[in-house]
Amino acid sequence: MRTLRNFIDGTWTDSRGDVLLDLVDPATEEVLARHPGGSAEDVDAAVAAAVAAHPAWAATPVGERVARIFTWADAIAAHADELVELECREMGKPLGIGRTFLDGAVAGLRAAADEALSYDFEELIEHPDGSRTRILRHPLGATAVITPWNFPVTAVLAAIGPLLAAGNTVVLKPSERAPLSVVRLLELAEFPPGVVNLVLGDARAGTPLAEHEQIRLVHFTGSVATGRRVGAAAGEQLRRAVLELGGKDPVVVDAGVDPVATAQAVAFGAFVNTGQICTSMERIYVHRDVAEPFVEALVAAAESFPVGNGLDEGVVLGPLVDRRQREIVVRHVEDAVQKGAKVRTGGIVPAGKGFYYPPTVLTDVDDSMLVLTEETFGPVAPVVVVDSFEEGLERASQSKYGLAATVYTDNSDHIDAAARIPAGVTWVNQWQGGGPERLYEPAGDSGMGATGARAAYDAATRPSSVHIAAA
């Protein structure tokens, strides 16, 4: 049985911790590998390597840093099938959908690195009185990237490009629930020793990394609860934290839309990756005029998805990542049913191996239920019928989360009104998209720190000004 190792200062090394965890295939419940539970000693060694590597990496011309990232992107693209298979084995994502997201992530890494070539790391402002101000943007130093399991490779690639291209070094800690593909990702990287380090483990590694006094920025993607701890540690250390956290994304379906086509789009947004996307559609507000055919089509779409082991051809929905995640989904649905919700399809844990849960549609739901208030992170679509678009918009806006939102409407006033939902990104008549130029900061509890295009470079650097008096 393979035991995964850390990658520190350019060398694969055994963890110094004494706990080994089993990595379980969620489709078969077989143990795939053993991996370290993590330790503060591992973190100390990785941070020391990142700190030591920083001066030389920061002094490397930006064009060379970007070229190395491109070389890595090429290697990832050349091994895409292998990486997608590893993701499928460790967390259940079917191959087809995994490939689509991985291709997007590689394109995103390239676009983000490319941005460095036009970013103003140095600007000169000439004032009318003959004085000049130089504005310099310095890399921060050693940084930490902590990622979740739902998109193991994508989450790393989304965070790491601007940090590295701006001249920072990185200690990466992937989720203990999906470390296999990220280990392979690092095997494909050819940076100078210490520039990218990998520390495996759960909170035993995450906590000392987030709290480490020599880390100058933590880029964290994960749950709100852990994000609060990471943010608190950043406050204690007076350093930057970028927090990309959970959501409870609403969808507003207006009167006048094609209920069947919209329901099919919503089914995809609610169920793909078995509902385990931070921007999964988790609250659906549908106008009464189209509610009946919409729910009927949503149920039909839910029942049409091939569910199974993601390695099998044609499968669209795999299992949930593990038993723990399925227990959360079961608890949310049971809570809703106890409080009067109707299960229109799904809602029953299937017998047999694997952490499967069927696509589930609930109606007669209200805000007393967990399915409308807490992130479920599973294939559950709760539908609320509203009497007007305005009511849908208002209810969509009533959440402690504010990651993303989607509106389906053919009314141009309503398209304009969609921007009123407090969210980092609002999609109209589509779900996902917007490209690398998309700039946003999550609202509410969904995170902190702007993301996208140049904002990532602003976050990855510290500006200073040098003012030179007129001669």
Nearer Cβ to ligand NAD (147/168)? 147
Q: Is 299 helix (H, G, I), strand (E, B) or coil?
A: helix
List 278, 282, 374, 375, catalytic entry: 278
| Residues between 158 and 187 with contacts to ligand NAD, criterion CB under 6 A | 173, 175-176
Q: Does 36 bind ligand NAD (CB under 6 A)?
A: no
| Binding pattern for the stretch 106-145 against ligand NAD, x by CB under 6 A and - elsewhere | ----------------------------------------
Q: Does 244 bind ligand NAD (CB under 6 A)?
A: yes
Nearer Cβ to ligand NAD (278/386)? 278
Stretches 60-68, 126-134, 225-233, 392-400: which one binds ligand NAD (CB under 6 A)?
A: 225-233
Query: Among this protein's residues, is 126 annotated catalytic?
Result: no
Query: Among this protein's residues, is 244 annotated catalytic?
Result: yes
- Give the CA angle between residues 374, 98, 298 to the nearest 5°: 50
Q: Is 345 helix (H, G, I), strand (E, B) or coil?
A: strand
Which residue bears the tokens 């991996």?
A: 35
| Residues between 351 and 390 with contacts to ligand NAD, criterion CB under 6 A | 375, 377
Structure tokens at 430: 């589509």
- Buried-state track 444-457, b at ≥16 Cβ within 10 A, e below 16: bbbbbbbbbbbbbb
Q: Does 326 bind ligand NAD (CB under 6 A)?
A: no
Which residue bears the tokens 């379980």?
A: 24
Q: Is 146 helix (H, G, I), strand (E, B) or coil?
A: strand
Sign of the C-alpha dihedral computed for residues 443, 446, 452 and 454 taken in this order: positive
Please give the Cα distance from 195 to 173 (Å, whole number).
Answer: 14
Question: For residue 343, what is the DSSP state?
Answer: E
Please give the Cα distance from 173 to 35 (Å, whole number).
Answer: 13
Nearer Cβ to ligand NAD (46/286)? 46
For ligand NAD, the nearest residue by Cβ is: 206
**Number of residues counted as binding ligand NAD (CB under 6 A):** 29
Which residue bears the tokens 């509902």?
A: 275
Structure tokens at 382: 């709760």
Q: Does 147 bind ligand NAD (CB under 6 A)?
A: yes
- Residue 157 Cβ vs ligand NAD, minimum distance, rounded to whole Å: 12
Q: Which residues bind ligand NAD (CB under 6 A)?
A: 146-150, 155, 173, 175-176, 202-203, 206-207, 210, 221-223, 226, 229-230, 244-247, 278, 375, 377, 403, 447
**Which active-site residues does the annotation give?**
244, 278
